[in-house]
């Protein structure tokens, strides 16, 4: 009998990528509620899905708010409301880093989201 170890390595290496937001999900774990953001990035070999997490906080210094403002390419106005579905499909740049899980698996994760300029 022959065994083959699956290749679980991602084709997304650390770096900055052009991306499109594909979804935002509310999740919960033992530490509480958080948002899971999914992005499709373009790589040399095609496209891949990468994710990043933020808290559910949306104050001035919150990562979630910074990501939304980057996707919209503008600051949010006081009292402004929006639905995450309005963000799906918007382009951006993402900074990807590697994270090693408890079992030793290395995964790409989104660390930062930046706006795509008006010229693009």
> DSSP secondary structure string, 53-93?
EE-S--STT-HHHHHHHHHHTSPPPTT----GGGTTT-EEE
In a domain, 8, yes or no: no
Domain holding 60: CATH number? 2.40.50
Count of structural domains, the chain: 1
The pLDDT value recorded for residue 119 is 54
- For 59-91, b where at least 16 C-beta lie within 10 A, e where not — what string? eeeebbbebbebbbeeeeeeeeeeebeebeebe
- Predicted confidence (pLDDT) per residue in 85-111, tens digit: 999 999 999 999 999 888 888 889 999
In a domain, 88, yes or no: yes
In a domain, 6, yes or no: no
Contact residues for 62 (Cβ-Cβ < 8 A; gap 6+) = 54, 55
In a domain, 40, yes or no: yes
| Eight-state DSSP code of residue 45 | T
Quick check: helix, strand or coil at residue 2? coil
In a domain, 27, yes or no: yes
Domain that holds residue 52: 15-114
- Predicted confidence (pLDDT) per residue in 38-91, tens digit: 999 988 888 899 999 999 999 989 999 999 999 999 999 999 999 999 999 999
Q: Residue with structure tokens 């991602």?
A: 10
């Amino acid at each position: 009998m022959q065994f083959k170890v699956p290749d679980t390595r991602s084709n997304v290496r650390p770096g900055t990528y052009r991306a499109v937001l594909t979804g935002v999900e509310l999740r919960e774990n033992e530490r509480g509620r958080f948002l899971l953001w999914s992005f499709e990035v373009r790589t040399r070999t095609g496209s891949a899905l990468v994710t990043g997490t933020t808290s559910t906080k949306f104050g001035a210094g919150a990562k979630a708010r910074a990501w939304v403002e980057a996707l919209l390419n503008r600051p949010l106005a006081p009292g402004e409301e929006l639905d995450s579905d309005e963000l799906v499909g918007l382009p951006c740049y993402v900074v990807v880093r590697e994270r090693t899980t408890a079992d030793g698996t290395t995964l790409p994760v989104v660390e930062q989201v930046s706006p795509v300029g008006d010229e693009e």
